[in-house]
Structure 1
Amino acid sequence: MPNLPPPCPSRLSLAMRSGLFAGLLSTTCYSLAMPAQAEAARQEQRLYQIPAGTLDQALTQFAASAGLLLSVDARLTAGKPSLGLHGHYAPAQALSKLLAGSGLSAYFSDDGRVLIEKAAHASDALELGATRVKGQAEDDGLKDYGVPRSVETRNLEQLERFRGRSNADLLAGIAGVQTSDGRNGGGIEVNIRGIQGQGRVPVKVDGSQQSLDVYRGYAGTAQRAYIDPDLISSVTVNKGPSLDAGASGAIGGSVEMQTLTVDDILKPGETTGWRLRGSLADNSSADVPSDYRVRPRTERNDLLHAHDWSRSLAFAHKDEAFDVVAAYAERRNNNYFAGKHGYSRYDTSVISGGALVDANTVARNYWPGEEVLNSSTHNKSFMLKGTLYRDNGLQLGLGYRYMDSSFGEIMPSQIGRSGPSMTQPLGDFKKDIDRYDEAFWMSAAPEYYQQCSAIAAPVPDGDNMWDSTGCFVRETLDPVYDYSGANQMIQFKPGNMKLHTLTSEFKWRPEDDSLAGYIDLNGHAWATFGRSIMYNNVGFTAPQRGQGYQDEQSEHYRQSLKSDLSNLKVGTDLSNTSRFITGSGDYALTYGASYQYETIDPSRKPWQDDLENNRIERNGYRHEYSLSTALEYKPVPQLTFTAGGRYSGYRIYDRNRQALYAAPAGAGPDEPWWNAEFAGFADNAELSGHGFAPAYSVSYAFTPNVMAYALYNQGMRMPSLFETTLGSWSAEPNYDLRPERMKTFEVGASFKGSNLLLDNDQAGFKLAYFHNTIDDMVTRNYRYNPKGRPGFNGELKIRNVDSFTTQGIELQSHYDSAWWFADASYVYNIKAETCDRAFAQALRDGGKSETPDCTTGGFQGSYTNTQNPPRYSVNLVLGAKAFEQKLATGVRMRYTSGPMYVLDKSWHVGTTTPQQHYLEARIYDFFADYQVSDELKVSFNVYNFTDQYYLDPMSQSMMPAPGRTSSLAASLQF
C-alpha cells in the first residue's frame, strides 16, 4: 500500500462517480493530493524512474513525478504487481504503460485531474474535453514478450491484413505452427512444434471447442476444426500444456480465438454503429465443375474479372449495463490455380535431408498454372452475442453462432490423372486431339523441354509416351487410340458442415473489500452441434444400405464413400484465483475444474445387414473431467515460482458391436475363414482411465524489460473416440490403450522496451528452447502376426508406442514506430523421433534386421510420417507508414525448408501413410492498407507475388498451393 493519506471520499471522486456511474454503489476511495498542472504540463514528456513493485507504489510515484491529482479506489489496485517504468513519456503515455494488463482505465480531465476505474465498466460519458487512456497491453504488440512461456497473439488488423485464400491461412506465419492439409477439406488442423491430432492441439472459439476426426485413406487421418475467419477478432496460440481449467488434454498447446467485439465495430467515442466489409479476389475458376471426371482448366482470371468474393455486415452497441454484437458473413472461393514457377523442382527432388527422391510427387498430378480441383469453399455464418455488466464486478456473456460451410474435398489417394497422359511431362492436348501441345511445355518448363528436346528418342508403342530417359516424344498421336478421356481428374461433390454453437461466459471480480482478494472467478459453458456430409469413407467397409457394393472409383463414389455423421460436444469449466499478501511475499492460488461430453453417431439409422458385416460408421460417446490447481509465489516482485498439477479421467462407450464370424465345418487349415458364417456380436466396448500430471515453473525479471524463465510441465491426454471405437476397419481400435503423458521442458528469455531507436517506438524479443516427449503416444502401425510378417492394408492397429520426442529452438521479435514496423521469427526443429522397442523387434523378426528401436519420424503405417514439419522456417514482415500513419504498406516473406527427414528406410515405408515430398519455398506477400477517412479503409494484397509452384508443408494431399492471387477489400464503419 502506498504511503498516502487515509482513505476518504473526496468531492472530486464522488462527483465523477455519480456523474459517470449513476445507480452504482459508492465505494471508499482515496485521493492523492498532488499539485494541479496546466494543459501544457500534460503534454510534456518527463523522465520516469519507477522501479518494479506493487501497482499502488508505482501510481504514487507516477502522480508525484507528473504533478497530477489522481483518484483511485484502493481495492482496484490491491495486490496488483507492476514492472515499473523507465524512460521519457508524456503523462498519458506513461500511465498507459503502468496500467498495462491491470484491467483498469484512466480518465484525464482538462484541469489535470485523473480518475482510474475498471476498464470493463468504463463509460465514454465524460465532461467535454476529457481524455480516456486504457492499459495498452492488449494492443501494443508486446503482451507476448512479458509472459513466462511461449505464446503468440494476432489482432484483428493483422488477421485482416493476411486473410489468405484458405481458412488455414489464418495461422500462416506464426512461429512453430503449421497447418496440416489446409487445401483439402476446408478445415483447420494445427501442428505446434511437431505435435497434432486427436485433441492434442484443440481450437477454441469464445471458449467452445469443435473438431471432427476424418479418415484420409492411405494418407492417415485428420482432426479438423471448422471456423469462419471473417468472424474472428483475435487469435492466441499457446504452445505446450498448461494448467488452465479448460486446457485438459491439450498437451501440444491450443489455439484460442475470439469473435468480433464491440471495439472492432464501433468508431472511437460511439456507442452504436455498423461495419460493412467486402472483398474481391482473382486466380480462381469461373465456377466449380460438376462432379466426377473433368479436365483442369488453365484460364486464370484477373481482379477486374474476379470470381471470388466476400461480404459481411456487423452491428454493435454498448453502454454501462450491456453490450451486444451481431454479424453475418459470407465468402465464396471457387477452385484456385497453382503457381507457374518452380514446377520442375518437383520432378526429381533433392530434399533437405540430402537424399535424392524420385517419387510420385505433386508435379505428376497438377501442372504449372493449372486449376486445382476440389479446392473451393463457400461459407455462410451468423453470430449474436452480448455481455451484461452487473453491480459488484459481475459479468455474464451469452452467444450463438451458426455456420454453413461447403468445401472441396477428395480422398488423397484419388488425386491423379486418367488416360494416357496420367504422368508428366506430357503436354496438354488440343481440343482436336491431333498433337501434343509442345508450346505449352516450352513456356511452362523451358529448362526441362530443352533438356529433352536434344535427345533423339524412338516413338514408343501404344499409349506409352515415355522413352527410357523420361522424356516425352513430340510426335502425332496414335490415330487408333481413343484420347477423349485423357488428362482427366476427379472433382468430388463438395462436402458440407453445418454447425450450431452456444456459448456463455461468467466473470466475477468483486469490488467489496472483504471479497476482492479472494474471488477472481471465470467460467465457461458451451455446446456445439455439427452435422457433416463428406465423401471420405472406405468403400468396402462403408454402409451399403441394401444397394450392394458400389465402385468407389466410379461415378457411384457418392454412395460408396458418403459419410453422414452428427457430432455433439458439450463442455464447461470454472476457475478462481485467491490472492494473499503476507510478510514473506505474495501468493496467488488458482484452482479449477472442467468437464466435456462428446457423442458421435450416424445421421441415418444403420441397416442390419451392414451391422452384421461390420459396415459401420462411428457411433459412441465420451466423458472427460479434470481438476487443476496452481500456486504462484512471489517472495519479491521480480521472482515468481509456480507449482501445480492436473488430475483428469475419462470414460468411453462404443455403441457399435463387432460382428463375429465362425469358420464353416470342413474348412481347410490354410483358409479357415473362407465363406465364414455370422455368429453374433461381441459386447459393447467400454473404456476408462485417469491420471495426474504435475507442473512447475520459475521466472525472474532482471529489469522491468528483461525476463528469463524455465518450466517443466506434464500433461495427460486421454484416448479419443476415433482411437477407441469401431468405424473403419482400416485402423482397428485398441481397447487396452494407455493415456499419453507429455513431458515439456522449456527455457527462454525475453526483452521488451520502448524509445530504443525512435521516440515512442517499442520492441520485443523472445528466445525459447523446447524439448517435448510424449510417453505412450497413441498412433497406428501394421498389425504383425507371430511370425513377424506385416498384415495387408486393412490390418492396421491403433496402439501405444514407447515415446515420441520433438526438440527445437524458436525466436520471435517485434518492432513498431511511427514510421515503420517489423515482425520476424525463426524456428529450427532439431529432432522428431519415435521409439518403440516391441514393434522394432517385430520388424527385425520379419527380416528387417537393421530396424532400430528409435527412428526419425515414425515407423511404417504411423500417422507421424505425414506430420513431419520443416527443419527450418523463417517469417518476416517489413512495413512502412506514411501520410500521418493513414497508409501502411509492406511485404511478408515466409520461408520453409523441406521436411526434417526423408523417411525412405524399409522400416518407414509401407502400404499406407507415405511421406509427402514438399520442398523448400520462399513465398512473398505484398500488402497495402489505407485509411481513407474515419469511416472508410481500403486494403490491397498480392499473395505469392512471384507465382511459385509449391506444396505446403504438412500436406497430406498432392494439391499445390495457390499461385499469385490479388485481393481488394474495403471496410466501412458508420
Structure 2
Amino acid sequence: MITFLREGLRASASPFALLVLAPLAGVPLSAAALAQSAPAAPPAANGEPVLELDTITVTSGKTEDRVIDDLAGSSVVTRRQIDLLQSSRVSDVLQGVPGVAVQETGTDPGQAVNIRGLQDFGRVNVLVDGARQDYQVSGHGANGTFYLDPELIGQVDVVRGPVSTVYGSGAIGGVVSFRTRTIDDILAPDERYGIVQRLGLGTNGAGAVTNTMAGARIGTAADVFGQFVYRNTDTYRDGNGDRVEDSDSELTSGLFKFNVFPADGHALSGSVLLQNYTFANNGDTGVGTRFSNDVTANTYTLGYRFSRPDNPWIDLSVKGYYTTTEDNKRVVAPSGTYGAIGVRPGDILDYSMDTLGFDISNTSRFDAFGMGHALTVGIDGARDRGETVDRAGGYGAAFTPSGERSLFGGFVQDEVRITPWLRTIGALRFDTYELDGGGVSADGSRVSPKITVGVEPITGIEFYGTYAEGYRAPSITETLIQGTHPFPIFNILPNPNLRPEVARNLEGGVNLQHDDVFTEGDSFRAKISVFQNRIDDYIDIVAVGPVYNVPVVPGMPVEACAFAPYLCLIGIQDQQYQNIARARLHGAELEAAYDWGGGFVTVAGTVIEGKNDITGDPLNSVIPNRISTTLGFRLLDSKLTLGTRLTLVDSSKEDVTNPTAGYGLVDLFASYRYDENISGDITIQNLFDRQYTQYLNSEPSPGLTAKFGLTVKFASR
C-alpha cells in the first residue's frame, strides 16, 4: 500500500497532492496549518457548494449532513461533475470515487457497481430515487446489473461498507443512491417555468445524445418536471484501433416528476422513469448465439414528507415504489450447442425482475440529559419476483431461475451530540427474509448493530471509529440455479441450504477541513479511512464432486472420451454456490480537494486486498489499487473552466482468474458558460489512445474519444 501511494506521489504534478498523500506515504507533514477553524465553504454563484465534500447527503443515516462531516466512508458526485466530463455511462460518473468500480460489458449498456471488492446479488444496494434495483441475470458477466443513463442523474450519494443500516437489507458492501433530475436542476428559485435543451456529439462510438428538460412552478402550491433523453451510440475502437463489435445501442427515456405542497410542512411527490434500450450481441462472451435485446427499465415512486422547524419531534418520510426491468431477447442466429439442439431464429428468452417496496422513517430531534439527540426509527420492505421465460434452449431458465424473495427490516438509530467535540451514532437493524421457488423455501432473520464515535480534538480535524454489521440473504439465483452449461459441459447445482452472509466491519477515519490555508478564501477538505470487512458464510461458486472428462465436439457422447481422450477436456467438475467459512477485505481510501477560487485540484485513492481466509486464495471481485487526480483552472471571470484528469490503475493480482495489466489514462475537459442560459463543453477521454481493459470487464475500453456538448436554457421569472 505504501509503495503504491509513493508511486502516486511521484506521478502527480500537483503540490496539493503532496500535501494530502504525504501522511499516508510516510512523509512528514506539519499539522499546524490544519489546526485552525474550519467553517463551511462559501457557496458558488449558483448556490451550490464550491467543493463536493461540502454537499449535503442523507445516505449514511437519513439525517442531512455535509459529506465532510459524515462519520463514514461517503462521497457525492454532483451534476456539475457529471457535466464537466460529459459522462456517457455510469462508469464515467463514478470513476473518481474512491473504493468504487463499475463492471460493464461493451456489448450491453447495463452495469454493476463494485464497492470495496464486493458486488453481485445485492451486496451493493443500488437505489434510483430510493427504489431498489434488484435485477439479476447470471452469465459470464456481473450478477446484478442495472440500467441508468447519466443524463438522467442529478446527484449520486455513495456510502462504502455495511454502515448504512437505514437503507434496506443486504448492503454489506455499501449503498449507491442515484437521484434523478428535478426541477431545481434547471430552474433557479426565482424562476417560474423554463426549458433546457442539450445536444451532444462524440467520436469513436460516443454517438449523439439529445436531452430536453422542462419544468414549471405553480405558485407555491406545486411544481412539475419532465425530461426526454435519446442516445444513439455506435461501435467504438479500442486503443489498438480494433473495433469492439456490438458496442452500439439505442436509448429512449422519459422522466416525469411532480410535487404538491397542500399545507405548510407537507409535501406529496411522485415520479415515473421509463427507459428502453435496444442492442444486439452474441452473449457476454461475444462468441455465443446471437440475440437481439429489448430492455425496459422502469421505476415508479410515490412519497409523502412532513417536516417543519417548529415541530422537531416529527420529520416523517413515507415512500412506496415499484421497479421493473425486463430483457426481451430474440434469437437472431443460433450457433454451436444452441444450433445443435434445434434453437431457431425468433425463439424467445425473456428475463424480468419486478420489485415492490416501501420505506417509512421518522426522525425526532430533542435534548435529554444535557445531550442533543436525533432519533430515527423506520421500517422498510421489498418483494422481488424474478421470472425467466425460455423457449431458446433452456439454458437461460437454468442459470437464472424464476422465484420470489421477500425482505423486511426495521431499525432504530440515535445520533447523539455529547459535547461540542464528541458525538456518537448507535443503531440496531432487524432483517428477515423468505425465499420461494422451484419447490424450495428458505428463510432467516438477524439483528445487526452499529456504533460510531467521532472526536474532534482540534477544530477542523475529526477522528472517527465504527463497528458495524450487515446481513445479506441469499439471492434467488444463488439458491435455485440448476442446469448444464452448454460448453464445456458441466452441471451447476442448486443449494437450498445456503446461509445468509454476515459482514463485520471495523473502520477508522479522519475528516479534515480548513479554509484560508494558503490564501484568503481558499478551502481544503479531505476524508481518509482504513477498514477491515470480515464476511462470515461468504457465498461463492466453487467446484464440487468428482473430476470427469467432457468432449469438445457438441453432441459427442461423454463415453467417447474413454476411446478418444484427445477430443476431450480433462479435469472438469460441477459447480455450486456454497458458503465459504470466511472472506476478509481490508484497505484504505483517500478523497481530498483544494479550491482557491481560480482553480481546484482533487485526489482520490484506493488500496484494497481481499482473500478467502480458508484457502488463502484472492477474491476475484477485488479491484486493483487506483489513484486519480483532477486539476482545473477557472478563467475569464470563471466563465471558462479548463482541466485534466489523470487516472493510474495498478495491475490486478497475478493469481486471480482473469488478471489484467496496469494502465494510466489522461482526460482533458473544457467548459465555457457564456451566461446562465448558454454553455458549451468539450471533453477528450483517453488522450494518448491507451489500450487497456478494466479489471472484470470482458471487452477492452474505448481508445481516444472526443465529446462536444451545447446547452441552451430559456426561463421566465
Aligned partner of 1:582 in structure 2 is 368
Q: Does 1:327 align with 2:105?
A: no
Aligned partner of 2:713 in structure 1 is 973
Contact 2:41–2:523 (8 Å) recurs in 1 = no
Deviations 1:751-806 (A, max 9, x none): 1122222222211011110101110011111112499x999757211110011111
Distance 2:601 2:448 in 1: 39
Aligned partner of 2:452 in structure 1 is 697
Q: Does 1:532 align with 2:330?
A: no
1:189 to 108, 112, 122: 112
SS of match in other structure, 2:703 = coil
Aligned partner of 1:471 in structure 2 is none
Q: Does 1:397 align with 2:259?
A: no
Distance 2:282 2:89 in 1: 16
Aligned partner of 1:508 in structure 2 is 306
Contact 1:410–1:536 (8 Å) recurs in 2 = no
Deviations 1:408-450 (A, max 9, x none): 54434444xxxxxxxxxxxxxxxxxxxxxxxxxxxxxxxxxxx
Contact 2:89–2:149 (8 Å) recurs in 1 = no
TM-score normalised per structure 1? 0.62
2:250 to 369, 372, 378: 378
Distance 1:321 1:135 in 2: 28
Distance 1:720 1:694 in 2: 23
Q: Does 1:521 align with 2:261?
A: no
Q: Does 1:764 align with 2:514?
A: no
Contact 2:545–2:573 (8 Å) recurs in 1 = no
* Alignment CA distance shift 1:967-1:315 (3 Å): same
The CA deviation at 1:324 is: 1.7
The CA deviation at 1:530 is: 2.2
Aligned partner of 1:833 in structure 2 is 611
Query: Which amino acid in structure 2 is aligned with residue 309 of structure 1?
Result: A
SS of match in other structure, 1:498 = strand
Distance 1:248 1:712 in 2: 17
The CA deviation at 1:251 is: 0.9
* Alignment CA distance shift 1:231-1:166 (3 Å): closer
* Alignment CA distance shift 1:644-1:726 (3 Å): same
Deviations 1:31-77 (A, max 9, x none): xxxxxxxxxxxxxxxxxxxxxxxxxxxxxxxxxxxxxxxxxxxxxxx
* Alignment CA distance shift 1:726-1:919 (3 Å): closer
Aligned partner of 1:311 in structure 2 is 210
* Alignment CA distance shift 1:202-1:581 (3 Å): same
Contact 2:415–2:424 (8 Å) recurs in 1 = yes
Moved more, 712-721 or 751-760: 751-760
Superposition pairs for residues 399-414 of structure 1, below 5 Å? 399-414=271-286
1:930 to 647, 654, 672: 672
Larger Rg: 1
Aligned partner of 2:32 in structure 1 is none
* Alignment CA distance shift 1:413-1:257 (3 Å): closer
Aligned partner of 2:655 in structure 1 is 903
2:99 to 172, 176, 198: 176
Q: Does 1:746 align with 2:530?
A: no
The CA deviation at 1:897 is: 0.6
* Alignment CA distance shift 1:639-1:610 (3 Å): closer
Deviations 1:133-176 (A, max 9, x none): 79889785593221111111011110122234444322112111
* Alignment CA distance shift 1:629-1:535 (3 Å): farther
Query: Which amino acid in structure 2 is aligned with residue 833 of structure 1?
Result: K
Distance 1:167 1:378 in 2: 16
Deviations 1:914-970 (A, max 9, x none): x22311111111000000222100000110000011111222x1x211010011001
* Alignment CA distance shift 1:695-1:931 (3 Å): same
Unaligned runs of 5+ in 2: 1-35, 57-65, 486-491, 551-568
* Alignment CA distance shift 1:152-1:280 (3 Å): same
Query: Which amino acid in structure 2 is aligned with residue 211 of structure 1?
Result: D
State the 4+ residue runs in structure 1 displaced beyond 6 angstroms.
131-139, 539-542, 613-616, 789-792
Distance 1:182 1:372 in 2: 11
Distance 2:677 2:104 in 1: 38
Query: Which amino acid in structure 1 is aligned with residue 259 of structure 2?
Result: T
Moved more, 382-391 or 577-586: 577-586
Query: Which amino acid in structure 2 is aligned with residue 822 of structure 1?
Result: V
The CA deviation at 1:333 is: 0.6
Superposition pairs for residues 523-562 of structure 1, below 5 Å? 523-534=318-329, 549-550=341-342, 559=347
SS of match in other structure, 2:80 = helix
Aligned partner of 1:596 in structure 2 is 382
TM-score normalised per structure 2? 0.83
Contact 2:430–2:448 (8 Å) recurs in 1 = yes
The CA deviation at 1:97 is: 6.0
Aligned partner of 1:712 in structure 2 is 467
Contact 2:389–2:397 (8 Å) recurs in 1 = no
Contact 1:185–1:495 (8 Å) recurs in 2 = no
Query: Which amino acid in structure 1 is aligned with residue 238 of structure 2?
Result: A
Superposition pairs for residues 429-578 of structure 1, below 5 Å? 492-512=290-310, 516-534=311-329, 549-550=341-342, 559=347, 563-578=349-364
Q: Does 1:889 align with 2:687?
A: no
Distance 2:202 2:133 in 1: 29
Contact 2:448–2:469 (8 Å) recurs in 1 = yes
Distance 2:711 2:597 in 1: 23
Deviations 1:826-851 (A, max 9, x none): 2222x21113xxxxxxxxxxxxxxxx
Contact 2:230–2:252 (8 Å) recurs in 1 = yes
Query: Which amino acid in structure 2 is aligned with residue 596 of structure 1?
Result: A
Q: Does 1:229 align with 2:150?
A: yes
Deviations 1:454-483 (A, max 9, x none): xxxxxxxxxxxxxxxxxxxxxxxxxxxxxx
Distance 2:665 2:387 in 1: 42
SS of match in other structure, 2:91 = helix
Query: Which amino acid in structure 2 is aligned with residue 868 of structure 1?
Result: V
Superposition pairs for residues 246-395 of structure 1, below 5 Å? 246-267=167-188, 269-284=190-205, 308-318=207-217, 319-339=219-239, 368-395=240-267
Tell me which protein shows more strand as a share of its residues.
2
Query: Which amino acid in structure 1 is aligned with residue 596 of structure 2?
Result: S
* Alignment CA distance shift 1:511-1:770 (3 Å): closer
* Alignment CA distance shift 1:566-1:491 (3 Å): closer
Distance 1:281 1:187 in 2: 20
* Alignment CA distance shift 1:587-1:493 (3 Å): same
Aligned partner of 2:692 in structure 1 is 950
The CA deviation at 1:563 is: 2.8
Superposition pairs for residues 194-233 of structure 1, below 5 Å? 194-216=117-139, 219=140, 221-233=142-154
Contact 2:290–2:331 (8 Å) recurs in 1 = no
Aligned-pair identity in percent equals 23
Q: Does 1:805 align with 2:584?
A: yes
Contact 2:158–2:177 (8 Å) recurs in 1 = yes
Aligned partner of 2:476 in structure 1 is 721
The CA deviation at 1:706 is: 1.6
Unaligned runs of 5+ in 1: 1-84, 88-93, 101-130, 285-306, 340-367, 416-489, 657-683, 836-852, 858-863, 905-914
Distance 2:345 2:162 in 1: 41
Aligned partner of 1:66 in structure 2 is none
Deviations 1:275-325 (A, max 9, x none): 1001000113xxxxxxxxxxxxxxxxxxxxxx7100010011234222221
Contact 1:541–1:615 (8 Å) recurs in 2 = no
The CA deviation at 1:598 is: 0.7
SS of match in other structure, 1:700 = strand
The CA deviation at 1:510 is: 3.5
Distance 2:199 2:460 in 1: 41
Aligned residues: 645
* Alignment CA distance shift 1:760-1:381 (3 Å): same
Distance 1:190 1:541 in 2: 32
